[in-house]
Amino acid sequence: MSGKAKVLIVEDEMPLAMLMINVLCRLGFDVEFAANGKKALAIATQKRFDLITLDIKLPDMTGFEICSELKQRHISYKTPILFISASPSPEDIAEAKRRGAEDYMTKPFDVTDFVYRVTLFAKVKSAPQTSDALKKNPNANK
């Protein structure tokens, strides 16, 4: 892969969004952010990403709706999607996968696991030095 892996984070909880953005930026990812579905769709129709993370509950639409839209009609139809949600419901997990998501994480999550999954699904050729980045931000796993 040439250049940085590009990740779109769709999350309306600002403290969590900032944590995700900071960790991934420190690891060398190119990160964009959207706090709602309309903005996420607008960004995803203009640029290609290596991974999109989606929350289920957003102010204007659900992550399920966004996922379906991206998988059906946009340039992002092949982009891996990682749901990150507070809901541990088996129904929500099944719905996410039915709509085309590659994986599903529940909040709160371990940052090391988050980085592992982002790296895996963004198809990063060499794994970032997770422990070094987390040492710079010792509160990242909290």
Q: What is the pLDDT of residues 75-114, one digit of tens each?
A: 888 899 999 999 999 999 999 999 999 999 999 999 999 9
Does residue 82 sit within a domain?
yes
Counting the structural domains of the chain, the total is: 1
- Please list the residues that pair with 81 across neighbouring strands: 52
CA separation for the pair 5, 28 (Å, rounded): 8
Does residue 138 sit within a domain?
no
Does residue 137 sit within a domain?
no
Full residue range of the structural domain in which residue 71 is found: 6-130
Average pLDDT on 2-28 reads 94
State residue 123's pLDDT score.
80
**Alpha-carbon dihedral sign for residues 107, 113, 119, 123:** negative
By the 10 Å C-beta count (0-12 exposed, 13-18 middle, 19+ buried), 105 is classed as middle
Does residue 34 sit within a domain?
yes
Q: Read off the pTM.
A: 0.84
Buried b (16+ CB within 10 A) or exposed e, 124-134: beeebebeebb
Q: How far apart are the first and last CA of the chain?
A: 31
Q: Residue 32: give its domain's CATH number.
A: 3.40.50.2300
- Report residue 105 as tokens: 């994480």
State residue 124's pLDDT score.
62
Instruction: Give yes or no for a contact between 73 and 109, defined as CB atoms under 8 angstroms apart.
Output: no
- Secondary structure class of 105 (helix, strand, coil): strand
